[in-house]
Amino acid sequence: MPEIRATARYARVIEAVHELLSRLRLDFLFLGNVARSAWLDSEVGAGSLDVLATMGPQQKNQVAMMASNRGFRVEREEVEASEELDIVPMRFDDIRIHVLVASNALYGRMVAGGVEARLGERTLRIPTAEDFALLLAMMGDEVALHALTSTPEFDRAGYNEKLHSIGLGEHALA
């Protein structure tokens, strides 16, 4: 099981986000710095936290309302401004958090196929290495993509198959 390393401050925020979304009974996984820590052995200690969650439009409002009642700072103007982006922006301990709505089949499958990773005693869910590689490729992070796809456990054939199935075959690995 992959291990996530985080500074005490970030670990506290990750725990708070996990508790919030779990209480709402949402299916979700951590992306960005948290997935990078698990797959590329880095430490979460800077930047925002990104989470992908399966939810409907009414649940977006529940996330924002419950977050504001649990110590998160949720700015109504930011939530309204991000309405079309399918994102719920918030902060906890001055760390920016983006809860992205899994609004298409690709993201829905990514959440459903997530794998477990450990943060101390807590079990979190992150995207598979192949799904994380897809995100890295779309972000243009060639260094991290190469590091991840070079690991022995990375399923190159599965990754290439996924790219072809979603019309991105030109990004397939040789």
The 10 Å Cβ neighbour count of residue 158 is 13
Domain boundaries, position 32: 5-127
pLDDT at 57 over 80: no
45, 68: one domain:
yes
pLDDT at 85 over 80: no
pLDDT recorded at residue 168: 87
Total number of domains in the chain: 2
67, 107: one domain:
yes
pLDDT at 119 over 80: yes
51, 122: one domain:
yes
Phi (first) and psi of residue 137, to 5 degrees = -65, -40
Whole-structure pTM over 0.75, yes or no?
yes
The residue among 119 and 61 whose pLDDT is bigger is 119
> Looking at residue 119, what DSSP letter applies?
E
| Amino acid, single-letter form, for residue 92 | F
**Rounded distance, CA 130 to CA 155, Å?**
7
Task: Check: CB of residue 82 under 8 Å from CB of residue 89.
Answer: yes
| Amino acid, single-letter form, for residue 89 | P
Task: Check: CB of residue 93 under 8 Å from CB of residue 68.
Answer: no
Q: Which residues pair with 92 in a beta bridge?
A: 95
pLDDT recorded at residue 174: 82
CATH of the domain at 83: 3.30.460.40
Lowest pLDDT segment from 40-44, 85-89, 90-94, 142-146: 85-89
Distances (CA, A) of 87 to 1, 5, 128: 29, 25, 22
pLDDT at 70 over 80: yes
> Looking at residue 38, what DSSP letter applies?
H
53, 106: one domain:
yes
pLDDT recorded at residue 148: 96
pLDDT recorded at residue 9: 97
